[in-house]
């Protein structure tokens, strides 16, 4: 595949712009850049750029997330997972099952991925998660309750956890 077959488009969120690296035909997402990450220059997702309908849908999903709406299952059919090891895929699948507003320890994900002693390996796999927000690696914390690492930085991780807690709390109060 040539570099020309990739495109990078950005969209806004309340925490700043995010970007999606994708291939249009057949549609496939290779990476999501979080707000605050160093992102190469990207064109905005708008009608002038004629983005693929699937890209529009993914952008809507991510923007809705920032408005307090759970994403549900990630759109696996559009995620480029072929370069992941079996273990990395199992870690991302287990992480994707963490409910909106929920938190799990790295140990819990290691158990769910079938390797109960592989807590560090879980952390390494999540540090390479190319699909943050769609696969909510920010919901994985240390067993001690400390926040742990995050590709978008610990401040953003705390902000995402707090965002979900606010919306879950407001849903439970109604």
CA atoms within 13 A on the CB side of 81: 19
Phi, psi of 30 (to 5 degrees): -105, -30
- Point out the catalytic residue in the list 137, 140, 160, 163: 137
Q: How far apart are CA 80 and CA 163, in angstroms?
A: 28
Report the distance separating Cα 160 and Cα 65, nearest Å. Answer: 10
Whether 119 is catalytic is no
What's the length of the chain? 174
Cis check: omega of the bond before 26, within 30 degrees of 0:
yes
Decide if 84 contacts 42 (C-beta within 8 A). Answer: no
**Among the listed residues 101, 79, 67, the one whose alpha carbon sits nearest the alpha carbon of residue 92:** 79
Q: Which residues are catalytic, by number?
A: 137
């Amino acid at each position: 595949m040539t570099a020309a077959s990739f495109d990078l488009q950005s969209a806004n969120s309340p925490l700043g712009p995010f970007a999606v690296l994708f291939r249009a035909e057949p549609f496939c997402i290779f990476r999501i850049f979080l707000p605050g990450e160093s992102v190469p220059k990207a064109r905005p997702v708008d009608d002038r750029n004629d983005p693929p309908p699937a890209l529009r849908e993914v952008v809507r999903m991510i923007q809705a997330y920032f408005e307090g709406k759970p994403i549900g299952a990630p759109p696996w059919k559009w995620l480029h997972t072929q370069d992941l090891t079996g273990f990395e895929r199992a870690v991302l699948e287990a992480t994707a099952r963490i409910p909106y507003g929920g938190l799990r320890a790295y140990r819990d994900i290691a158990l769910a991925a079938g390797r109960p002693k592989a807590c560090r390996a879980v952390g390494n796999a999540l540090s390479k998660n190319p699909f943050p927000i769609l696969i909510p690696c920010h919901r994985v914390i240390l067993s001690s309750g400390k926040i742990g690492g995050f590709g978008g930085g610990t401040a953003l991780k705390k902000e995402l956890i707090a965002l979900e807690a606010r919306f879950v709390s407001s849903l439970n109060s109604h």
